[in-house]
Copies of this chain bind each other. A is one copy, B any other.
C-alpha cells in the first residue's frame, strides 16, 4: 500500500493535477517509486472518495484539469503509515534469476547483457551524482533537507553496488 502514500507525499510537497503528478513521478519520486498515469488517476479517484484529498477546478469530465490537495485526514493517514513498522522485502531481481538459470542450462552468451546493465547503471549513477552536486553542495550545512540527501545517497550507493558487482561478475567470464 505504498502508492497512495507516495501520492499524498507528492501532493503535500505541492498540490498538482494528475498529469503533473505523473511527470514528477517520472523525475524525483519515481527514482524509488515509479507509477504510470493510469495508476495515478485510479488512485487519486480512490483518495478523493475516501476523503483524503480534495479536487478543485472546473472539470468534471474528461480533459478538464483538476487540481488536488491533501486534506487533514490525508495528512493524518500518511503520518500513521510512516510510523508503522514494515519489514524490508527480500530482493527480487530477474537478472539474478537469469544467472541461476544460466548456471543450469550452461548458457554463456550473457556477457553482453551484463555489460549492457553495467552501462545503464553507470548512466543512472552519473545522473544521481549530478543531482547531488546541484542540490546538495558540500558547503551547505545539512539540517533541514538532510533526509532528502540520505535518500539520494541510497540511490547513489545502490548504483555503485551494481556497478562493482557487475564488474566482478564480468571479470571471470
Contact = CB atoms under 8 A, between A and B. Distances in A.
A5 to B, nearest CB: 6
Contacts of A169: 150
Given A9-B104, A105-B82, A150-B99, A91 B31 contact: yes
B88 A102 contact: no
Contact of A96 (B34, B154, B162, B164): B154
A163 to B, nearest CB: 11
A30 interface: yes
A64 B117 CA distance: 44
A172 B142 contact: yes
Contacts of A79: 105, 107
Contacts of A40: none
B98 A82 contact: yes
Contacts of A168: 150, 153
A107 B5 CA distance: 15
A165 B154 contact: yes
Interface stretch (A43-51, A53-61, A108-116, A131-139): A108-116
A94 interface: yes
The 8 A-B residue pairs whose C-beta atoms are closest, nearest first, are A103-B147, A32-B96, A9-B101, A32-B91, A161-B161, A12-B104, A2-B94, A150-B169
Given A100-B147, A103-B145, 19 more contacts: A9-B101, A13-B104, A29-B100, A30-B90, A31-B91, A33-B94, A34-B92, A81-B98, A82-B102, A83-B107, A83-B109, A86-B95, A88-B117, A88-B120, A91-B158, A93-B154, A103-B147, A154-B165, A158-B161
